[in-house]
Chains A and B, each alone.
Chain A
Amino acid sequence: METISKPVIQVRDLGLSYDDYAVMRGLNFSVNKNEIFVVMGGSGCGKSTLLKALIGLKSPVEGEVLYEGVSFWQQDEDKQQGIMRRLGILYQGGALWSSLTLGENVALPLELYAKLSPPQVREVVELKLSLVGLSGYADFYPAQISGGMRKRAALARAIALDPDFIFFDEPSSGLDPLSARSLDELILQLKDTLRAAIIVVTHELASIFTIGDNSVLLDADSKSMIAIGNPRDLLNTSSDPRVIQFLTRGEKTSLPRLPTGSQGGQGAAR
């Protein structure tokens, strides 16, 4: 009997704005455990603003974000902090604390929230750095390593507390194709290992098709989501020219219907 996975993150009628300027409205989607959900859309469409609303950095003007059924923005600050501790976030530029070594960056959340002795913290740090392929780099400072390595180190910090929900903001930006590909593979490995719900904000098509189980496409003109579903299914089944244009880098506005071989759910253009 097939088990129906329960959504662990739900976004309901979410509306976002900067002062009086509406960025996005009417967002509705859900993310399951052990799923990679991609938020895609062109530059300036509101992807990063949506991410901020999901991780507690920007309150929405309407709607709600639910983590395992608990509405994040309706909780008091202490409960919000409790939820935020279960999030792991890889920021676009890595956001490693520049005055700390890579080891100290990963160790800081462990020292604060995990009940571990200093030698145990060091062991966990070494493990997390090994997971992202940076074993032996614990004493390096962020300025001493390459952009791709900084992203990996930031990922090690993001997964330090074994989070239930991991967010990636443009993980491939600023990376060469090989580093981007290897980061995608790392995300897939983490999905299998950590069994967390993973949300990736990106507009890199190669990454979208490689890692995405499910996705939502945001549109800057209509300030809303215009499609939801598995990216490959969307490419094959969507009749919306905006969706086809985005997923084919603007090369096509319509596609001949092909039999779908999707891994995830049904695509649906809205």
Chain B
Amino acid sequence: MLLGYEAVQSVAFRNSLFELTYKLGLENKAYMPSSQLSFDYPSSETLRVKLSGEWQISVGLPSDNECLSQLSSNKEITEVTFEPSGLNKWDSGLLSFLLRLIKECGKRNIRVNRQSLPEGIERLLILALREHKVSVPQEAPIAIPLLERAGDKVLQIQAGFVSLFNFLGDIAVAFSRFLSGKAYFRGDDFRAIVQRCGADALGLVSLISVLVGIILAFVGTIQLQLFGAQIFIADIVGIAMVRVMGAVMTGIIMSGRTGASFAAELGLMQANEEIDAFKTLGISPVEFLVMPRVLALMIMMPFLTLYADFMGILGGFFVSTVFLGLNPVEYLQHTQSAVRLSNLWIGLAHSFVFGIIIGIAGCLRGMQCARSAEAVGEAATSAVVTAITSIVVATALITFVCQVLGV
């Protein structure tokens, strides 16, 4: 009884000592697995592989290098057999070892006698060693020449432009049908989209616009206070917000918010074959899905921009009166005299164009979406990138035209 207790104590002590040395890195050798691999030669031509202990991935596996070196060093070996009598537990670890051994033997024309292996292992080995017919649709070229790659890229860009112009053509047809009262779309859907593009975006537009107004006021102060001309902050904030910043910031917000949402929504409909269902029913998806979205943005973007202008001016007003000590009435009078009606029209023109850009970019990427979850994500990302890039380009163009026209 005492002996039994001592034995248990001894094993427990050894285990805890081993754990301690292992954790502290005092043990130089790697963790010793309980599985064991040894060899002997019943005859000069036969290698017997002795498997014992627990061959499990969770407790570690012995290196198979020694076994393979036996095969390499002894050229007389023509057969490999197994002695699994000491084998306790096994899993994929043992199978992967056996599979590698069988393949190595195959390369050296050495026969593997698997008769002594447990039945379960043998069944799994048969399954793993089945030859699978792999059908390759096309031979993949090893290396595509630079010129060919460049050509492919040009063709891809061309196809992209063709697809864009086709889409723009479809939208033009849908709008012409809308103007002639023939377009088919659901009023309820349109109203819901208008709400999403308008009222639902007010919170975010408020926050960003107020902050932009505050930033403009602070940045303007740095230079203007050198001349004691802080009151001109009202002019800077007012003109910048109304003429361009209100529209640009609203455009960027709506690209990320609504453009991405349109792309994901239509992309998912594409993946779920809902777009195909429209086509086969003879309903134009552009008319039913795209046109209401673009129209909603065209209508709501100018209103959102007006609101953003107001909130931006409010932000500048707050900084100027609270932090810089400017007279509130004077600030408002300056804003009123500085911001001309032409600035407002230019800002609204920007927003109208941005509405079209965001709507088209979002819907185009959604309609081009492939049929997978990954593609839906890519469509949303691509819609935002396309919309923001196009907004910046459009801003530059409109600014240039205004400069040339002297407005």
Using a CB–CB distance below 8 Å, which chain A residues touch chain B? Answer: 20-21, 55-57, 81, 84-85, 87, 89, 91-93, 95-99, 108-109, 112-113, 157, 220-221
Contact = CB atoms under 8 A, between A and B. Distances in A.
Interface of B: 135, 137-138, 184, 189, 269, 272-274, 276-277, 279-283
B280 A56 contact: yes
Contacts, number: 51
Nearest to B275: A95
A97 B274 contact: yes
Given A84-B281, A89-B277, A97-B269, 15 more contacts: A21-B137, A55-B280, A57-B279, A57-B280, A85-B282, A95-B272, A96-B277, A99-B189, A108-B283, A109-B281, A109-B283, A112-B184, A112-B282, A157-B277, A220-B135
A97 B273 contact: no
Contacts of B184: 112
B135 to A, nearest CB: 7
B280 A89 contact: yes
Interface of B is mostly: loop
Contacts of A108: 281, 283
B138 A93 contact: no
Contacts of B282: 81, 84-85, 112-113
Nearest to B284: A81
A93 B184 CA distance: 25
Nearest to A154: B277
Given A220-B135, A221-B135, A96 B274 contact: yes
B281 A85 contact: yes
Contact of A112 (B273, B276, B283): B283
Nearest to B283: A112
Most central of B135, B137, B138, B273 by chain A CB within 10 Å: B273
The 5 A-B residue pairs whose C-beta atoms are closest, nearest first, are A95-B273, A91-B273, A95-B277, A81-B282, A95-B274
A174 to B, nearest CB: 13
Nearest to A109: B281
B137 A91 contact: no
B273 A93 contact: yes
15 contacts: A21-B138, A56-B279, A56-B280, A57-B279, A84-B279, A84-B280, A85-B282, A89-B277, A89-B280, A91-B273, A93-B272, A97-B277, A112-B184, A112-B283, A113-B282
Nearest to B281: A109
B371 to A, nearest CB: 10
B276 A91 contact: yes
B276 A95 contact: yes
Nearest to B278: A97
A247 B273 CA distance: 29
A20 B135 CA distance: 17
Nearest to B268: A98
Nearest to A83: B282
A53 to B, nearest CB: 12
A89 B274 CA distance: 11
A85 B279 CA distance: 10
A89 B138 CA distance: 32
A84 B282 CA distance: 7
Contacts of B273: 91-93, 95
Contacts of A93: 272-273
A52 to B, nearest CB: 8
Nearest to A105: B277
A87 B272 contact: no
Nearest to A95: B273
B281 A98 contact: no
Contacts of B280: 55-57, 84, 87, 89
Of the listed residues B189, B272, B280, the one surrounded by the most CB atoms of chain A closer than 10 A to its CB is B280
A81 B278 CA distance: 11
Contacts of B189: 99
Nearest to B282: A81
Nearest to A57: B276
Contact of B272 (A89, A98, A113): A98
B203 to A, nearest CB: 23
Contacts of B135: 220-221
Contacts of B137: 21
B274 A98 contact: yes
B281 A112 contact: yes
Contacts of B283: 108-109, 112
A93 B275 CA distance: 13
Contacts of A89: 277, 280
Contacts of A81: 282
Contacts of B276: 57, 91, 95
Nearest to A113: B282
A20 B273 CA distance: 24
A109 B272 CA distance: 19
A56 B283 CA distance: 13
A54 to B, nearest CB: 10
A220 B135 CA distance: 10
Contacts of A97: 269, 274, 277
A67 B282 CA distance: 17
A115 to B, nearest CB: 15
Nearest to A157: B277
A85 B273 CA distance: 17
A14 to B, nearest CB: 18
A21 B138 CA distance: 8
Contacts of B281: 84-85, 108-109, 112
Given A81-B282, A98-B272, A99-B189, A91 B138 contact: no
Nearest to A92: B273
A112 B280 CA distance: 13
A112 B283 CA distance: 9
A20 B189 CA distance: 40
